[in-house]
Structures are given as C-alpha cells and as structure tokens.
C-alpha cells in the first residue's frame, strides 16, 4: 500500500471531505526550500530547484495558470502536470531532462503533503514519465582531449573550451565548484576547495596547464572569482544562465571538432575518471580524487578504454598529473 492508498483508507469519501481546507502556495513552498538550501550552503540543491522553479513558472505563465501571481498545491492536478510535460517536450528537451524536472517537482509536492500543507488522495505525477533512463557512458578519450585543446574556435567559445579543460585537469571538478573558485582557494602549489555536493575538502596540484588557464582569466571577473562565471567585469551573472551558455557552447564545440555525441558539463568528470583508470590508477585513488564517498559511485564514471598514460590524456603540454594518493589526495 503506497502513501496515497493509505490516505484513501483514512478518507474513504476522498478529498471532498477536506474541501474546507485552504491549500498552501506551491510556488512559495518551493522558494522557501531554495532559501533553506542557500542557508545550508547546498549550492547544488539551490541550482537544481531554482532551474526547475524557473521552468515551471514560465510554463504556468504561458498556460495562464497563475492566480493573482500564485499557484497553489490544489491546482497541481494530473492534467496540469501532463500539460507541463507537453510543454517541456515542445522545448525539445530529452526525456531524461523532462524526467529530472518531474522528479524534483514530485519530491517537493510529496514533501508539502507530508508537512500538512495540502491533502490529496491522488498522485498528480502518476501519468507522466519520472523514470531514470540508462544513459551512454559520457567519457571521451585522450585523442579527443587533444582535438579540443588544439581546435581553432571562435572567440566566444574559448571560455567554455578552457573551462572544460580546466575541469578535466582538476580531476573532473564540477561546474558549480569551478564557478565558486576564488583567489583564496589558491594555497601555495595547490587548489584547496570543498565540494558543493558533499562538503568534502579536496586538494589539487597546480600543474602548469591549470596555472595557464587561471592566468588567462586573471582580473576578467572584476572580483575575487577566478573565472567570469558568477561575475564579469564586476557585474553579477546568473549561475543558471552561465551553465546553460556553457553547455550550449560545448555542443557547438562538439560539432566543430566532429564529435558523434555532444559534450556536456559532465563529460570532463567522466573522462578524467576513465582515462585515469586506463592509465592504471587504482579505483580507490580515483574515488578519493573525485571526492566520492564510495567506489560504487566512481564505477558509474568509468569506461573501458585502451591503456594510455595521463600525459596523453591531457595533451602534449608536458603535464604530469600527480596521481600519487599520499601526496595529492590527503
């Protein structure tokens, strides 16, 4: 018996017997949870829910479903959820992305119901796709890394190319963590930072290739940020907009160098793990280097490739990725 079947047992007459109960604002509830994640320093949760709220709000406006600028829990019917799914499909989003938005909205809808903000005996998300499709391994090999490095690109794509390579060189640092890097994270010969997702401290050696990219963008942000992602010339930038632009530019870059599948912000992380494994680095070391809590998580990132050295993986730039566990992963 699931949660909604249980409620039907408690209320055999359905939701009508609760019709006098005033439904709370669903949009206000989502904003409250964004604020809560901000206070707790959970940047990843903030980014995901903010993106979902923005997409859902645009849908509500386009479908004329807002009432006095608001949208309540009671208004989130199966019909509305289905229309939102159609709206996302009309934007040519993948089923994986659509499912992501649906799962996130569903989780907060359930959370609100459990907190007594709304009573319902039906699950409005029951008729839409909320699965997690099996995706192809998102790793590229060292030859592709060379192509990306040496590609002759339009000026507007250079930052995205450099950020992708920086992420790869720094053991697949996530985009949110790259965006948050400041001068204070440069300590001696290392980058020292805390992963937004786990809060775990990571230390990465400042190899020549990493220093070169940092130096290229010195002062461009007009602030203490290393890269012009959150700030540009001293002016604030939207993180979600920067991430969207980054992925759009990576798709354009993929087309220019003739890749079969487009690059995304996740590919650099998958690629570093796979190439490190192919170079003979133990999975435990890779796991610690990426800040994973278990080797099982690391396995998701790994693919089978021909054995190559890390030097091959990060171009002929005389780079030695120091993967010694004792020296780099403390």
CATH of the domain at 169: 1.10.443.10
Do 183 and 110 share a structural domain? no
- What's the pLDDT score for residue 136? 57
Do 162 and 93 share a structural domain? no
Do 293 and 146 share a structural domain? yes
pTM of the model: 0.56
Three-state DSSP class for 202? strand
Is 137 among the domain residues?
no
Residue with tokens 């002759």: 152
How many domains, in total, are found in the chain?
2
- What's the pLDDT score for residue 269? 85
Nearest to 180 by CA among 137, 211, 223, 138: 223
Do 293 and 194 share a structural domain? yes
CATH number of the domain within which 81 lies: 1.10.150
Is 197 among the domain residues?
yes
Do 261 and 300 share a structural domain? yes
- What's the pLDDT score for residue 14? 44
- What's the pLDDT score for residue 324? 37
Do 101 and 161 share a structural domain? no
Query: 79 φ, ψ to 5°?
Result: -65, -40
Do 182 and 110 share a structural domain? no
- Say if residue 76 is exposed, middle or buried (CB neighbours under 10 Å; 0-12, 13-18, 19+): buried
Is 126 among the domain residues?
no
The answer to whether 214 and 221 have CB atoms below 8 angstroms apart is no
Is 121 among the domain residues?
no
- What's the pLDDT score for residue 292? 62
- Spell out, as residue ranges, where the chain has pLDDT lower than 70: 1-22, 133-137, 288, 290-330
Do 173 and 321 share a structural domain? yes
Is 13 among the domain residues?
yes
203-222 core/surface letters (b: 16 or more CB in 10 A; e: else)? ebbbbebbeebbeebeeebe
Domain span at residue 319 reads 142-328
Do 149 and 106 share a structural domain? no
Is 9 among the domain residues?
yes
**CA 261 → CA 20, 149, 245, 258, distances in Å?**
53, 18, 18, 9
- What's the pLDDT score for residue 115? 92
The answer to whether 319 and 311 have CB atoms below 8 angstroms apart is yes
Query: 198 φ, ψ to 5°?
Result: -120, -15
């Amino acid at each position: 018996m699931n949660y909604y079947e249980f409620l039907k047992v408690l209320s055999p007459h359905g939701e009508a017997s609760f019709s006098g109960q005033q439904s709370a604002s669903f949009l206000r509830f989502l904003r409250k949870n964004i604020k809560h994640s901000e206070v707790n320093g959970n940047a990843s949760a903030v980014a995901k829910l903010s993106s979902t709220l923005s997409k859902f709000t645009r849908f509500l406006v386009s479908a004329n479903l807002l009432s006095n600028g608001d949208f309540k829990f009671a208004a989130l019917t199966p019909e509305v959820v289905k229309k939102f799914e159609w709206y996302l499909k009309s934007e040519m989003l993948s089923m994986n992305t659509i499912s992501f938005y649906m799962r996130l909205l569903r989780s907060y809808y359930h959370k609100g119901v459990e907190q007594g903000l709304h009573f319902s005996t039906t699950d409005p998300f029951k008729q839409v796709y909320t699965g997690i499709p099996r995706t192809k391994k998102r790793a590229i090999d060292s030859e592709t890394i060379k192509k990306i490095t040496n590609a002759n690109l339009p000026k507007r794509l250079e930052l995205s190319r450099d950020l992708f390579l920086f992420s790869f060189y720094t053991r697949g640092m996530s985009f949110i963590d790259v965006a948050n890097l400041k001068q204070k994270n440069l300590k001696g010969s290392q980058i020292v930072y805390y992963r937004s997702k786990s809060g775990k401290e990571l230390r990465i050696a400042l190899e020549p290739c990493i220093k070169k990219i940092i130096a290229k963008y010195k002062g461009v942000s007009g602030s203490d940020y290393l890269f012009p992602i959150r700030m540009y010339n001293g002016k604030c930038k939207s993180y979600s907009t920067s991430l969207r632009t980054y992925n759009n530019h990576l798709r354009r870059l993929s087309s220019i160098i003739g890749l079969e599948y487009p690059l995304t912000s996740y590919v650099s992380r998958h690629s570093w793990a796979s190439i490190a494994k192919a170079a003979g680095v133990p999975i435990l070391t890779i796991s610690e280097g990426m800040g994973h809590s278990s080797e099982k998580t690391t396995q998701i990132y790994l693919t089978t490739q021909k054995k190559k050295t890390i030097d091959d993986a990060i171009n002929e730039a005389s780079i030695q990725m120091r993967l010694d566990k004792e020296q780099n992963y403390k």
